[in-house]
Amino acid sequence: MKNTIYLMLFTSLLWACNYQSHEHTHKDGDDHGHSHSHEGDHIHGGEILDAKVIEATEFAPEYIQHATNIEIIENVATAIENGGVLTHEGSFGPLLFGEELRAFFLDLKPGMFLAEHPHPTESIVYTKSGKWVLCSEGKRQVMEAGSIFHFGSDMPTGWEAPFAEGAYLIIFKKKKEGENYESFTKGTQNLVTMLDKERTNGVEFYFNELDAGHPAIIFAREVNPDFESVLQNIKY
């Protein structure tokens, strides 16, 4: 009889321990963000919902509002075709604005030259098409389609376009407080005026404004046998 009672007590204790262990495991999962709810799978009862298309404006490209706080540009090439604001540093246009990040494109026109200068915030830059020259600390690197690079805050960098095809870059950068499509575009339009004044005051923005012995000219001739044609056909 005693053995039977002991066995029942042991079985009850073992069950209780297993239950607590199982419950603890799920709580740990919740604490670490590993708990998944499948309730959302059945909210719409199998209904297929359409995402909302946000049409292009004078400031922003067309994009898809897929869900709350999820935006999609299906084809960056199409968004770029809508053009941007042309400055002496290239043509700028916005792509997407997130909570803390922004993505925009830069179209470097053939023959453009931008001397090294510091940027206050870091960036990651992807070359979508074409090729160009990155310059920093006097060192030059040809960047081609598919390449990506990072530069840190306040790191001087320069951009040079000694090739006939120019280049399209996609730049990822921290968003400024309160920045949106309209403020970005208007800021770029203000940049046009500022850079016009700088050019009037003697700042060089194109290869045909540089001395023949400038390092950028020498490097351009080394990496592009047809550089002379680019030099003679700068339109800006």
CATH for 123? 2.60.120.10
- 54 inside domain: no
- 101 inside domain: yes
- 99 inside domain: yes
Q: Which residue has the tokens 């390449």?
A: 147
Tally of domains in the chain: 1
CB 54 within 8 A of CB 64: yes
- Measured CA to CA, the distance from residue 219 to residue 224 in angstroms comes to 8
pLDDT (tens place) for every residue of the chain, 236 residues total: 444 444 443 444 444 444 444 444 444 444 444 444 444 444 555 677 788 998 988 899 999 999 988 999 998 988 888 779 999 999 999 999 999 999 999 999 999 999 999 989 999 999 999 999 999 999 999 999 999 999 999 999 999 999 999 999 999 999 988 899 999 999 999 999 999 999 999 999 999 999 999 999 999 999 999 999 999 999 88
Q: Which domain holds residue 120?
A: 84-232
